[in-house]
Amino acid sequence: MKKSLIIIISILLSGIFQSCNTSISKFETPEGIKMRNDVDQFVSALERSIDSFIPILQIDHSRLAEEVDVYTPPSIVTIFSNPKVNSGLLKINQLVGLDLPYKVLSYSEPDMTNPSISYTSPEFLIKRHGLSNNDLAAFSNDINSVIKSFPNSSISSTDLSKVDKDFGLIIKKSDFDFIATIENLKKDIQAQGDTQIFGEIDFKKEAAEYTIEIDPTTLILFGAPAPGGKAMNKTPKIGLDAFCQKLLIFEKEGNVFIAYNDIVEFSKLYYQKGTIPQRVVNYRLNKVYGNAITEK
């Protein structure tokens, strides 16, 4: 019975992944070409509106996925920073580092009817991290100055009624010190073969430049285009929080922890459902992280 179940699951996964691959031709249709161009125009407008911030990273999910024969709708995440704002928030709650720096997703839903904008909002941070409006005053001013460049009709709304403290957070304690934990994680991430590290932000070092003292806190940004594209195929908005992967390593009261997002929980938040490819990625991340932070 167990063997039969494994075979059935393998067939299902194969079918899902094959359907993703054969959908790449959508970008060769007039509809697909237009939508990709529309999303690209949103990104260009965004780039003009963030010229006063520090650029961190831009990831074109659909084009990266296309390079490995996987389809996902047009989806580009742009990450940019105001280190002084980051530092003030991290002083209050280190876990907010998982939602920093600023992130804006320019994308299309699978129906490819209209381009949309999604971003990490102050309201979300208030509920997830127990922050106040006063805590987020500077954050709000910054992100609102960027988002106002887009028509209200293009801003994707999210029902935050189900978001509570520590929503979608997975937190684990490491058996190693801070530096060894980072080294182990990076080594195991890169050992996956299909995964690349896009960047690393040392929040403690940034904070010191503003004479703000915080405990060691580092964010690693990485991703794997094929699994990520499959997980976003029907739910591209999760590209805001789940892809690229964001892994926070932080020290608190002498202990070292890692924190990362539960992909399925964010999919349920945005689409009221999770998918098999998302669960596959969740399982894979849990295994990689667990091995890296556990002393054998």
User: What is the chain's pLDDT, residue by residue, as a tens digit (296 residues)?
Assistant: 444 333 333 333 334 444 444 455 666 777 778 888 889 999 999 999 999 999 999 999 888 888 888 888 899 999 999 999 999 999 999 999 999 999 999 999 887 778 999 999 999 999 999 999 999 999 999 999 999 989 999 999 999 998 999 999 999 999 999 999 999 999 988 888 777 888 899 999 999 999 999 999 999 998 877 778 788 888 999 999 888 889 999 999 999 999 999 999 999 999 999 889 889 888 888 888 888 888 87
Residue 69, C-beta contacts closer than 8 angstroms, at least 6 positions apart: 21, 24
Which CATH number is 85's domain given?
A: 3.30.310.70
Provide the whole-model pTM: 0.85
Q: Report how many domains make up the chain.
A: 1
Return phi, psi of residue 76, to 5°.
-130, 120
Alpha carbon 188 to chain centroid distance?
19
**How far is Cα 80 from Cα 188, in angstroms, rounded to an integer?**
27
Question: In 3D, which of 198, 150, 143, 158 has the Cα closest to residue 39?
Answer: 150
Domain of 154 in residue numbering reads as 2-293
Q: Are 260 and 285 in contact (CB under 8 A)?
A: yes
The predicted structure's pLDDT at residue 144: 94
Q: Are 76 and 43 in contact (CB under 8 A)?
A: yes
